[in-house]
């Protein structure tokens, strides 16, 4: 019987073999662009966000251009991502705050990131992990579902899953582990019909 830490080590190793290239599925070139993309990805697919931001980042090529944007026009630009009224407002406001309080740079601490409009722990962890290379656990829907199925966590609550994984994952590998869970969740461990007969983790899954 494997301990949670032993199981986490083995799951990490097998996912590394299956998905050697672990990276964020959102397209971005600048730190604030990832922040915007993650905000748009709430209740929306990454694929849809990447389609929208392809034109969005051309129309607003700088942080200043987002901060100066006409709010109703910006909302129209992101409408297909859903919840466009609040997302548009959050994007404009967060860009204004980045310029006014952070010198145009996305903060590198959880505390400061959580002060930005529309930014929760999931978004903050993505920024800390992908932009700043800090140990991060992104407790998105894939992470929560799969971690519970594997027996690495025992809660539907994102924060509790994050804390549980921080206890058993190698901090240097935690960020990539979460990226791999997204790929694994889409391909194998799906929400409604997990493909258990094809799963490389079958023998270490609770």
Structure tokens at 203: 């023998």
3-state secondary structure the chain: CCCHHHHHHHHHHHHHHHCCCCCCCCCCCCHHHHHHHHHHCCCCCHHHHHHHHHHHHHHCCCHHHHHHCCHHHHHHHCHHHCCHHHHHHHHHHHHHHHHHHHCCCCCCCHHHHCCCCCCCHHHHHHHHHHCCCCCCCCCCHHHHHHHHHHCCCCCCCHHHHHHHHHHHCCCCCHHHHHHHHHHHHHHCCCCCCCCHHHCCCHHHCC
- How far, in Å, CA of 174 to CA of 152, rounded? 13
- Residues with active-site annotation: 122, 140
Question: How many angstroms separate the Cα of 132 from the Cα of each of 66, 108, 116, 160, 179?
Answer: 23, 7, 17, 23, 15
């Amino acid at each position: 019987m494997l301990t949670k830490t032993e199981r986490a080590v083995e799951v990490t190793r097998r996912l590394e073999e299956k998905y050697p290239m672990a990276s964020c599925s959102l397209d971005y070139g600048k730190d604030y662009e990832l922040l915007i993309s993650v905000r748009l990805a709430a209740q929306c697919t990454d694929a849809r966000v990447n389609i929208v931001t392809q034109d969005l980042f051309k129309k607003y090529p700088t942080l200043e251009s987002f901060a100066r944007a006409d709010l109703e026009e910006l909302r129209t630009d992101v409408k297909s991502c859903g919840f466009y009224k609040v997302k548009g407002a959050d994007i404009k406001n967060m860009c204004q705050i980045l310029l006014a309080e952070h010198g145009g740079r996305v903060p590198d601490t959880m505390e400061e990131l959580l002060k930005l409009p529309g930014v929760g722990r999931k978004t903050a962890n993505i920024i800390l992990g992908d932009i700043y290379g800090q140990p991060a656990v992104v407790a998105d829907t894939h992470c929560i579902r799969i971690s519970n199925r594997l027996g690495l966590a025992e809660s539907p609550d994102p924060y509790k899953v994050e804390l549980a994984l921080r206890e058993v994952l190698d901090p240097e590998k935690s960020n990539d582990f979460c990226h791999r869970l997204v790929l694994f969740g889409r391909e194998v461990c799906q929400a409604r019909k997990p493909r258990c007969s094809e799963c490389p983790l079958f023998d270490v899954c609770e």
